[in-house]
Structure 1
């Protein structure tokens, strides 16, 4: 009984609630002509900023995703373009090399036409000693191609050197700039004999030594020097280079000079090997030899100076 009394709602509370509801109804009826926002409108008003923020965030993340996709696509295209550029660069390099080889071959052809009395064969340089200069190098022709020791080698516009070693499919060439090289030369205009000595140190300035020129020689700067007819191993008439300067020796009996080689010994790639030995010319009785224009005069009488010069040159010429 006591519990029932405690849980029972008092009538005054019920009356108060009903009164509030009545007042609410009266208020609603008074203002029912006015625009009263509905619950949906209120919710929409509250959700609109949130929806706008969500949409903005979605657009932002979507733009990031698009940019990443575009970046990846551009990177992929860039890689493809880089590959194409590398391939084109390789082709261009190959074409440039082929063009350079073609120009070299044209020069060699012109050179072979310059010495029509000599049989020649082309060869490519396949190896060289360390350093900037082609003082000693290997070519891709050997005994199987008819190459023999002491055959002369030319390129560009003149004499390169001499074959010192022959293998089946390759040969070693020592150029005239090598420190051990001595070539019996001759001033073209007056046939004065001289010795052209290899000198790698001097070659850094683009010149070689010329020694034992007769004191009364009329040699001057710009004179052409060719291989002489009294050399034991070098064929006559091959262009060596041009006189750069002339000096008087201390002995006052001879002159010395500096010579600029006709060949660029820093940029060789292809050469011509003359398949004729000086010894074969001497055996056939043609010891006078030939010059650039055709023949050296047959007057082979040597003066004392010429004999001494030839001996000096041939002591080191062509030896390994």
Structure 2
């Protein structure tokens, strides 16, 4: 009895397994076409979604990188601008220091005269400083006819004074006349301003004695017979000295010691010629220097 029951159970289990195998085979065979259809429809969608996702990710990543690069560029540009500004400032300070050193050396060369420093604050139109204004005036001891120096030599003379400003007419101006002399020989001459001639970097020398020893390269300084200019101030250097047609005098040119295209600081001698040593007027040989 027990043996038959085991036999029936075994047969039943066998039949059940066969049925399951059949059902599974039938189910797989039935779903395969459905699976294929769904896969056919969904595969392009999935690929598109993947591409869009990848593009979005790359775009976000590139945008983030771009923003970072732009921020870095901006920071670098600001740093470059700061360095350029600092370099310009240092160069400006270096040039100013060089100019002040030159003024100091000039001050040491003429220690016999009382001087004050001044800055150029304005000038007449034109390429050169033939007439200009400085930031020191009567309140600082500046007077009309005060001599002005810069760049190693004579620049001009004060023609007008206010409380806190003064006007200077330089030796290159057309109406300027300065009584000069050769430092080595003492031969006298007249230095005449001429803006047209100064375009060639020189001024005119005249009234040189025919038998004088004034020659090319001589240092020309202010004469002790000048009515307005203190003696011994370097004006420039003689050049191209020749005998005039009259054979009675010589003439030539003068290369100014001072620079008249970039004046920024000057020295004003507060002592006047008439205060130092009064002497007869020589206005017949040295033209008046009028105000601007």
Question: Above 0.5 in TM-score?
Answer: yes
Whether 1:32 and 2:25 are equivalent positions in the alignment is: yes
- TM-score normalised to structure 2 length: 0.84
- Structure 1 residue 30 displacement after superposition: 11
Q: Secondary structure at the match of 1:314?
A: coil
Give the unaligned 5+ runs of structure 2.
1-20
Residues 30, 82 of structure 1: alpha-carbon distance in 2 compared, 3 angstrom cutoff:
closer
1:157 matched residue in structure 2: 152
| Alpha-carbon separation, structure 2, partners of 1:177 and 1:195 | 13
- Structure 1 residue 268 displacement after superposition: 1.2
Q: Secondary structure at the match of 1:55?
A: helix
Whether 1:214 and 2:209 are equivalent positions in the alignment is: yes
| Alpha-carbon separation, structure 1, partners of 2:64 and 2:244 | 81
2:290 matched residue in structure 1: 319
| Alpha-carbon separation, structure 1, partners of 2:179 and 2:139 | 30
Q: Cα deviation per residue 1:134-184 (whole Å; 9 max; x = unaligned)?
A: 111111111111111111011111101111111111111111111111000
Whether 1:278 and 2:273 are equivalent positions in the alignment is: yes
1:44 matched residue in structure 2: 39
- Structure 1 residue 312 displacement after superposition: 4.0
- Structure 1 residue 202 displacement after superposition: 1.0
Q: Which moved more, 1:146-155 or 1:62-71?
A: 62-71
2:48 matched residue in structure 1: 53
Trace 1:169-248 onto structure 2 (pairs within 5 A). Answer: 169-248=164-243
- Structure 1 residue 56 displacement after superposition: 1.4
Residues 31, 101 of structure 1: alpha-carbon distance in 2 compared, 3 angstrom cutoff:
closer
Q: Which moved more, 1:230-239 or 1:92-101?
A: 92-101
Whether 1:129 and 2:129 are equivalent positions in the alignment is: no
Q: Cα deviation per residue 1:91-149 (whole Å; 9 max; x = unaligned)?
A: 22222222111111111111111111111111111111122211111111111111111
- Structure 1 residue 33 displacement after superposition: 8.3
Whether 1:90 and 2:61 are equivalent positions in the alignment is: no
- TM-score normalised to structure 1 length: 0.77
| Alpha-carbon separation, structure 2, partners of 1:204 and 1:79 | 47
Alignment RMSD: 2.5
Q: Cα deviation per residue 1:174-198 (whole Å; 9 max; x = unaligned)?
A: 1111111100000111111100011
In the alignment of these two chains, the number of paired residues is: 269
| Alpha-carbon separation, structure 2, partners of 1:78 and 1:30 | 70
